[in-house]
Each structure stands twice: as C-alpha cells, then as structure tokens.
Amino acid sequence: MPILFGFLFFGPLFAQILDKIGWQQPLGLSTLALGLIVGGTWGIVAFFRGSWIWARP
C-alpha cells in the first residue's frame, strides 16, 4: 500500500508543487515524471522501512 500511495498521491502532489514554484526539471523530464520517480521511490523506501519518516522512535 505505501508504494501505491507514493505513486498515486505523493507523485502528482510533488509535481504540482514543482509547477507552482516554477522549478526547471533536470534532463528534460516533465514535472509529473519527476514527481512519480520521487513519490514512487519514497513509497518503496517506506514499504521496506515500515515508516514514512526517516527518524524512528
């Protein structure tokens, strides 16, 4: 479930934030593609770590 949440929520959210601040994308990627890469990576890390945040209590 964290992987889907990362792709389907955080990816588009990150892309919209990048569009809003006017950030230029590296390597000619669209903001959505970059958002899906970041959101998906974060979801995969959260899946294996069992936590969305880096610091664990």
Secondary structure (DSSP) of the chain: -HHHHIIIIIHHHHHHHHHHHTPPPGGG--HHHHHHHHHHHHHHHHHHHT-SSS---
**Mean pLDDT value across residues 4-21:** 90
Is this structure's pTM higher than 0.75?
A: yes
In this predicted structure, the answer to whether residue 32 has a pLDDT above a threshold of 80 is: yes
User: Are the C-beta atoms of 42 and 9 separated by less than 8 Å?
Assistant: no
**Mean pLDDT value across residues 25-44:** 87
Amino acid letter for position 38: V
Distance CA 3, CA 29 (A): 21
